[in-house]
Amino acid sequence: MAGYSRKNKVPDANLLASSLPQSAISRRAAIAAMGAAAFSNAGSLSFAASRQKKRNLLFIAIDDLNDWIGCLNGHPGVITPNLDRLAKRGVLFTSAHCAAPVCNPSRTALLYGKRPSSSGVYNNDQPHRRSPLLQDAVTLSMHFRENGYRVIGGGKIYHERYPDPQSWDEYYPSKTQTKPPDPQPEGKPLNGIPGTMAFDWGPIPNSEESMGDYKVADWAAAELGKVQAKPLFLACGIWKPHLPWYIPQKYFDMYPLDKITLPLVKDDDLDDVPPIGKQMAITKARDHERVLKYKQWESGVRSYLAAITFADAQVGRVLDALEHGPNAATTDIVLWSDHGWHLGEKLHWRKFTLWERSTRNVLMICAPGLTKPGSRCDRTVSLLDIYPTVTELSGLSPREGLEGRSLLPLLKNPSARWDHAAVTTYLRGNHAVRDAHSRYIRYHDGTEELYNRDRDPNEWTNIADRPEEQDRKRKLAMSLPKSDAADVPRDRTTEEGDSA
């Protein structure tokens, strides 16, 4: 559990979980057992036999979720029983990375199969259909529809400003609105930091049922409970733990404030970082400085954890519906988060950097008849790999021009040889290359960072200038994009929280 301060006592997850109603735990355990049996029976079939008919795909996205889930050991005491049980049923990728540490370009890259450096979509204010490369492109869900699927979605799949209605047969709550609104508390900011806008957190008295994500999970559960006339592609987007962290009180009660464990932070961590990297970390908002000034670090970590456990509960409700319904044995599951999140590491909050905290995300795939339950894959992979992976997994016609690679060899054998690095881009000309042992960053002005992650998992020591590391650096640089597409014209309209 490197990278966390021990000045606070680690919460007892069993004790905290006991705050959940026992009836809910018993009901979920029973349903999970039934679902496990369905998945186990499906898993006994050969891959070829189980794919004779087109299989459904449940496609779950979670916003702003880093590796703070139980199965990834990202934070001590975090409560994520549903993500953990899904991980036990398929392959958990322990080193998955986004194509961009920002919602819009990350999701655009995944759903079109094109890098930001190819499309020119680098930030949240760039409509993806304005890209010359993407204006007539076939998205992932459109490709499934072309192959005979009913494609439906709800919640946040694309960035909320650009939902791409043409990609869906049906959408909840509508093709132009990604989710129902959340209740808004009185007396904002709840964290007491002036001028925070969306950078705010705290418990709210509202019921869980009043939350937008709960309603999206309700919709997905209802669809999964139906017998399907056609093969189904169902995308379910969970908004939390995106800011603001206004979460029902019961989730805060699971994380007593005096037992919160803070990330371990090095006060001089940015001293060996080039100026562009420092600007990414220390933004105009000066988040970390203000969090410390108003003594909100423990509260912020607690709120993020509460938001994660709330999101996990909604995932659990969707999984329960699948496992207890008519489609359990005929449905593959892909669950991913769009990028990571900082909570003080590198003196930074939010995403928007090229370090591990921003680029690493959650990815797990359950394909009964192919994946072995409880598998872990430590190979370095990219969210760009999802489009070609599910295309091959579902037996669809290949889509030309995708820039990711199918993960099917790793689904069959998580230890298979894999000599590919993951590339993350933040704004034009700034890239990170991550392989099994290193992270290399090159900014648009040519300045660099290099980290030996085997010895330095917190990325505290930049070794880019060391003579003995030049061969390593040159090898990693071979994975950098050969060119950077011009920026897609920006949308001049703005929204509160768009940079959150």
Catalytic residues: 103, 159
Q: Which of 95, 101, 98, 68 is nearest to 83 (CA)?
A: 68
Q: What single letter denotes the amino acid at residue 315? A: V
Which residues, at least 6 apart from 471, have a Cβ–Cβ distance to it below 8 Å? none
Q: How far apart are CA 316 and CA 55, in angstroms?
A: 21
Give the sign of the dihedral formed by CA 68, CA 69, CA 75, CA 81: positive
Dihedral, 486, 488, 491, 494 alpha carbons, nearest 10: -70
Helices marked H in 62-174 — which ranges?
A: 81-87, 103-112, 116-119, 140-146
User: How far, in Å, are 319, 330, 476 from residue 228 at the CA level?
Assistant: 17, 11, 47
- Does the bond joining 173 to the residue before it have cis omega, within 30 degrees of 0? yes
For the record, the structure tokens of 343 come out as: 């909570």
- What is the distance between the alpha carbons of residues 168 and 154, in angstroms, rounded to a whole number? 10
3-state helix vs strand vs coil in the chain, percent to 5: 35, 15, 50
Return the exposure string of 373-394: e unless at least 16 CB atoms fall within 10 Å of the residue's CB, then b.
Answer: eebebebbbbbbbbbbbbbebb
Distance CA 397, CA 390 (A): 11
